[in-house]
Structure 1
Amino acid sequence: MNRTPEQLALQHSLALCQGHADALQDALQDIKVRGMGVDDYAHLGKEDRRLLDQFAYRYTRLQDDMGAKLVPTLLKALGEDVAIMSALDRFARLEQLGWLVSADDWQTLRQIRNQFAHDYPDNPTERFERLQAAILAAAQLIAVLTQFQSKIKT
Structure 2
Amino acid sequence: MSQKPEILALQQTYASCRGHAQILGEALADLQLRNLQIQDISHLSKEDRRILDQFAYRYTRLQDDIGARLLPAILRAMEEDIATMSVADRLNRLEQLGWLPSADEWSDLRRIRNEFPHDYPDTVAERFARLQMALNASQRALEILEALSRKIEQHFPDLTA
Which range, TM-score by smaller chain? over 0.9
Deviation string 1:72-130 (CA, Å, 9 cap, x unpaired) is 11001111011111112111110111111111101111111122112535211121111
Structure 1 match to 2:27: 27
Cα drift, residue 45 of structure 1: 2.0
Distance in structure 1 (CA, Å) of the matches to 2:2 and 2:71: 22
Equivalent residues in 2 for 1:1-154 (5 A)? 2-154=2-154
TM-score of the superposed pair, with normalisation by structure 2: 0.90
What do the CA deviations read for 1:22-62 (whole angstroms, capped 9, x no partner)? 11101101100111101111211222112111111111101
User: Secondary structure of 2:117's match?
Assistant: helix
Query: Equivalents in 2 of 1:76, 1:21: separation in Å?
Result: 22
Identity of paired residues, percent? 56
State the AA in 1 paired with 2:134: A
Q: CA RMSD in A?
A: 1.3
Distance in 1 of aligned mates of 2:132 and 2:67: 23
Which runs of 5 or more structure 1 residues have no equivalent in the other structure? none
**Distance in 1, Cα, partners of 2:71 & 2:101:** 14
Mapped partners of 1:69, 1:122: distance in 2 = 32
Unaligned ranges ≥5, structure 2: 155-161
